[in-house]
A and B are shown apart, each in its own frame.
Chain A
Amino acid sequence: MSGYVGDVVALARKDLLLELRARDTLPAMLLFVVSTLVVFHFALPQGAGDDAAYGLLWVALVFTALLGLARAWVPEREHAALDGLVLATGDRSAIWLAKTVAALAFLGAAEVVALPAFAVLFAPLDAAAVLGVVLASVGICVVGTLASAMAAAGRGREVILPLLVLPLSIPLVVGGVGASVSSEPRTYVAFLCLYDAVFAILSWASFEYVVTE
Chain B
Amino acid sequence: MPARITLPTLSVISVALMAAAVTMIFFVAPEDADQGISQKIFYFHVPIALTAYVLFGLGAWKALRVLWTRGERYDLESYTAIHQGTIFGALTLITGAIWAKASWGVWWTWSSNQLVLFLVLFLFYCAYFMLRFSVEAGPRRERISAVYALFGVALIPVSFLAIRLASDFIHPTVFTREGPQMTGTMFGAFCVAWAAIVVLALVMYSVELAGKRTDAHLRELREALGR
Contact = CB atoms under 8 A, between A and B. Distances in A.
A213 B140 CA distance: 5
B195 to A, nearest CB: 31
A155 B134 contact: yes
Bin the interface of chain A by size: 20 to 34
Contact of B147 (A151, A157, A168, A206): A206
Nearest to A178: B165
B147 A210 contact: yes
Nearest to B146: A209
Interface string B128-149: 0011001110011101101110
B221 interface: no
A209 B151 contact: no
Contacts of A164: 127, 131, 148
B159 interface: yes
Contact of A163 (B67, B130, B151, B155): B130
Contacts of B150: 202, 206
A150 B124 contact: no
B131 A168 contact: no
Given A154-B134, A160-B130, A167-B123, A209 B67 contact: yes
Contact of B134 (A156, A171, A209): A156
B147 A150 contact: yes
Contacts of B163: 174
Interface residues of B, number: 31
A194 B144 contact: no
Contacts of B134: 151, 154-157, 160
A116 to B, nearest CB: 27
Interface in B27-70: 67
Contact of A166 (B67, B123, B143): B123
A194 B136 CA distance: 34
Interface centre among B141, B154, B162 (most CB of A within 10 A): B162
Contact of B162 (A150, A154, A166, A171): A171
A75 B226 CA distance: 39
Given A160-B134, A164-B131, A213 B139 contact: yes
A162 to B, nearest CB: 9
B166 A174 contact: yes
B161 interface: yes
Nearest to A199: B154
B74 to A, nearest CB: 13
Interface string A169-210: 011001100100000000110010011001100100010011
Contacts of A198: 154, 158
B120 interface: yes
A109 interface: no
A168 B148 CA distance: 11
A31 interface: no
A163 B147 CA distance: 16
Contacts of A143: 151
A178 B163 CA distance: 11
- Which 6 residue pairs across A and B have the least CB separation, nearest first? A154-B134, A171-B162, A167-B124, A154-B135, A174-B162, A163-B127
Given A150-B147, A153-B140, A160-B127, 19 more contacts: A151-B131, A151-B134, A157-B134, A159-B130, A167-B123, A171-B161, A174-B162, A178-B165, A188-B165, A191-B165, A194-B158, A195-B158, A199-B158, A209-B146, A210-B143, A210-B144, A210-B147, A212-B140, A212-B143
14 contacts: A143-B151, A151-B131, A154-B131, A168-B124, A168-B151, A174-B165, A178-B165, A178-B166, A191-B162, A194-B158, A194-B161, A195-B158, A202-B150, A213-B139
